[in-house]
Amino acid sequence: MSWEPEVEDIVRRRELGGQMGGPELIAQHHADGKLTVRERIDLLIDPGSFNEQGRLAGVGVYEDGRLAQFFPSGTVVGAARIDGRRVIISGSDFTARRAPAVAGRQRNKGTYAEEMAIEMKVPFIRLIDAFGASIRAVATMGRTYIPEMRDYWMIHELMGEVPVVSAALGSVAGAPAAHAAATHFTVMVRGTAQVFAAGPPVVQRALGRDITKEELGGADVHARGSGLADNEAETEADALHQVRQFLSYLPSNVYRVPPVVPCSDPVDRKDEALLSLIPRDRRRPYDTRKMLSHIADEGSLFEMGRYYGGSVVTMFGRLDGHPVGIIANDPRVLGGSMDAAAAEKFTKFVDLCDTFHVPLANFVDQPGFMIGPGAEQAGTLKKGVRALAAIYDSTIPWATIIVRRAYGVAGAAHQSHRRHAFRMAWPSAEWGSIPIEGGVAAAYRRQIENAADPDAERKRIEDELIQSRNPIKTAEAFDIENLIDPRETRPILIEWVHDAYERLPLLVGKRLHHM
């Protein structure tokens, strides 16, 4: 006698699991402008590579011992491939969560997926469209319970060993919101995704304030305000594309080096635009992203956190196919100065690059820490020295290119000074403990005030001191190792990155910073 009946039952249950919350709830989900979890996975991965685990998990309703109804689990998990590399995916099925099933009967599939990623040492991706606990569970259980996050040790362990990514694709609250934050990269869909500890009904009850989901936790709040989300996306397809892009720069785990890809962009390319990109008028800003596009491999730049801490630009890019982290200042935002948000962003990116052994190139135009009462209240100095500590804690190869200003403590945060770092400067560079203009006003205050013509005296002192700002004089003292033609930057950095990748196998392994 064969096992055909049992096999047929398995096949039938697999089909039921694939139906998610059923046609009506799927139609409503689509009407809300959202893809189903299985459509999301198909968009994200290499075609046909998904190996699902736990498709039969769910709540069965039986009549006379026979399955009458089946409500699939609200989480879809499994292994897949992205660009040929193995990943683990855990996705929320919002349609199944809206089905009238009794929660809490299954082993946690999300935790199982985390265990898979730890064991296999491969990137872990969360596709989040879920709320946390519901008060309805109290009615079902007949008691309350002490909250726990027993899997948090796994989240911490994951972030120390493999890339962890979250895409917020709907309203996310409670524990799923914590998962959205516990990542190396978080992207959320503008207008569709919101992330918050508790939703508007709880806020209204607790604080007496009526607020919409978007006002409480939309992209303006988290991608442009709190920094919880690194990037925002216009569509789900865009969000999933960004997940693929982010992972392409990183190794599968901390025990490997980043993946090098073929490159057709000439290594000796010297873009003429770089020669005049930095204005001679020191008060005029320039386009930092345009500058970087003339140096990195064509089309290789991927920015993180554009709308948070905007005076600092953090990107991944490639040089002759080799992944690199890129930090730069944007003089169009706060003059490029480091405020509290920029310091946090700087620190996170340095820690990320160091965790996954991605060499880092720092393009410096740093006038100093942001000043004023607002900056002091925001803790700019406290967060700024943490950024400096991140540099000194790092072990990755580091290249510094001073393109214009490097002043004060923030300017000192351009490289670690306790080990060798590759450093060069453009002829537009200037540096010091404090900009001459501001320093003269403080140091020569009495002399200027007592002069017959204070403005003329201040200008005379400034003009005299500005002569010493010429970077050639610093090069004569070997306080800057190299002054270069800006057009030479790409070929010089490519030689550096080749040397850096020779060293990387000696640096692989776990680092101290997990989050």
Listed by start position, the domains of the chain span: 29-248, 272-429+480-506, 434-470
Torsion of CA 139, 140, 144, 147, to 10 degrees: -120
* Measured distance CA(197)–CA(176) in Å, rounded: 9
Distance of CA 173 to the CA centre of its chain: 20
Which CATH code of 3.40.50.1400, 3.30.950.10, 3.90.226.10, 3.90.230.10 fits the domain covering 272-429+480-506?
3.90.226.10
**Model pLDDT, residue 440:** 58
**Model pLDDT, residue 199:** 85
Q: What is the pLDDT along the chain (515 residues), one digit of tens a residue?
A: 798 887 888 888 888 777 777 778 888 888 888 998 899 999 999 999 999 897 878 777 787 777 767 778 788 999 999 999 999 999 988 888 655 544 445 568 888 899 999 999 999 999 999 876 555 555 556 666 666 666 777 888 899 999 999 999 999 998 889 999 999 999 999 999 999 988 888 888 889 899 999 999 999 999 999 999 999 999 999 999 999 999 999 999 999 999 999 999 999 999 999 999 999 988 899 999 999 999 999 999 999 999 999 999 999 999 999 999 999 999 999 999 999 999 999 999 999 999 999 999 999 999 988 889 999 999 999 999 999 899 999 999 999 999 999 888 888 878 887 788 799 999 999 888 766 666 656 667 777 777 777 777 777 766 666 666 788 888 888 888 999 999 999 999 999 999 999 999 999 998 876 55
**Model pLDDT, residue 44:** 97
How many C-beta atoms lie closer than 10 Å to residue 366's C-beta? 30
* Residue 136, H or E segment: helix 136-141
Q: Which residues are 513's β-sheet partners?
A: none
Q: In sequence order, what DSSP letters do the residues of 254-272 get, joined into one string?
A: TTSPPPP----S-TT---G
* Residue 129, H or E segment: none
Q: In sequence order, what DSSP letters do the residues of 8-30 get, joined into one string?
A: HHHHHHHHHHHTTT-HHHHHHHH
Tokens, residue 470: 């010429």
Assign 3-class secondary structure to 48-61: CCCEEECCCCEEEE
- Domain 29-248 and domain 272-429+480-506, same fold? Reply is yes
**Model pLDDT, residue 101:** 44
Superfamily for domain range 29-248:
2-enoyl-CoA Hydratase; Chain A, domain 1 (3.90.226.10)
